[in-house]
Amino acid sequence: MNDLETKLLAQLQGLISAVENNGAEQSLSVLCREVDLAKALIAESQATQRQAQQPSADGWIAWAGNPGIPVKYGTRVDVEYRDGERVYGIPAGAIPNGPNSRRAIDWAHYDLDEDIVAYRVVGAPDSKPSTLGD
């Protein structure tokens, strides 16, 4: 569970407690406050994600392990794993053909060597793999 999820869960638990322990007027007031706080947390998280997804000079984008994939399914990407290994020109979300045992299917983080920690887009879906090796 990431920080945003933890904070939103705490907000939801506070809301449920307020509704269970207070009258209708107080519950509505607490609900409005909790919704405003949740909106602020979500806006802060989105701003942080946008900032983190700015590519470096060589096109690499740091990846924090959010659910889903950050590009369209099948888009050719170079990926860097937590252990530092890089694999080039593989389709995001798809099982690639060939001898490459590493893939870009699961973009969530599990604190494993196989976690994708950075990526860069190198081609549209179904285009040829990158020949870059940097």
Which tens digit of pLDDT belongs to each residue from 74-85?
A: 999 999 999 999
> In this structure, what are the phi and psi dihedrals at residue 3, rounded to the nearest 5 degrees?
-60, -40
For the cut 50, the answer to whether the pLDDT of residue 134 exceeds it is no
Closest CA to 112 of 73, 62, 65: 65
| Range from 2-6, 30-34, 113-117, 129-133 that averages highest in pLDDT | 113-117
| Range from 34-38, 79-83, 89-93 that averages highest in pLDDT | 79-83
For the cut 80, the answer to whether the pLDDT of residue 132 exceeds it is no
Whole-structure pTM value: 0.56
Q: How far apart are CA 122 and CA 60, in angstroms?
A: 10
